[in-house]
Amino acid sequence: MENNKKMINEQMSNERTFLSWIRTGIGIMVFGFVIVKFSLFVNQLPAAFFKDSNIPKNGFTIIIGIALVLTGALTIVLSYLKYKQTHKLLQKGEYLYSTLLLTVLTVVIFLMSIIIITYLAIAAYPFNFSI
């Protein structure tokens, strides 16, 4: 009875972890969507609002946004595969902890953050804040 209860707790913990990864993937996708929408909004504003500024029109933010949406979708798929793998290992009693998914996701999001920060710094450098 005690062993069965422990197995149920482990399986439910695996499921909560999976659902947390799903929320993380959705959050990454939403952030990518917001970046794309903001880029389209900025490109549609009249140039009169941005005197002496260098607002890039190359669509680079659209690429970053799409990359984030893809990263979110990939996070969801990888989290499902990890969930299934962990489920099988828990049933066999052979679960081994792994941080590979965490490491990969952290590196990808960190690199995308550096790219976004660099892009924003370059775009805002000659910006004149007077309207």
Taking Cα atoms as reference points, which of 46, 43, 31, 56 lies closest to residue 119? 56
Instruction: Specify if 86 maps to a domain.
Output: yes
Instruction: Specify if 45 maps to a domain.
Output: no
Q: What pLDDT digit, counting tens, does each position of 68-123 carry?
A: 899 999 999 999 999 999 889 888 888 777 788 888 888 988 998 898 888 777 76
Q: How many domains does one find in the chain?
A: 1
- Where in the sequence is the domain holding 28, given as residue range(s)? 2-40+51-124
Contact residues for 69 (Cβ-Cβ < 8 A; gap 6+): 28, 29, 32, 33, 36
Helices (H) and strands (E) in the chain, counts: 3, 0
Residue 55 has pLDDT above 60, yes or no: no
Instruction: Specify if 16 maps to a domain.
Output: yes
Instruction: Specify if 58 maps to a domain.
Output: yes
Instruction: Specify if 99 maps to a domain.
Output: yes
Kindly state the tokens that stand for 64: 């970053």
Instruction: Specify if 129 maps to a domain.
Output: no
Instruction: Specify if 46 maps to a domain.
Output: no
pTM score: 0.72
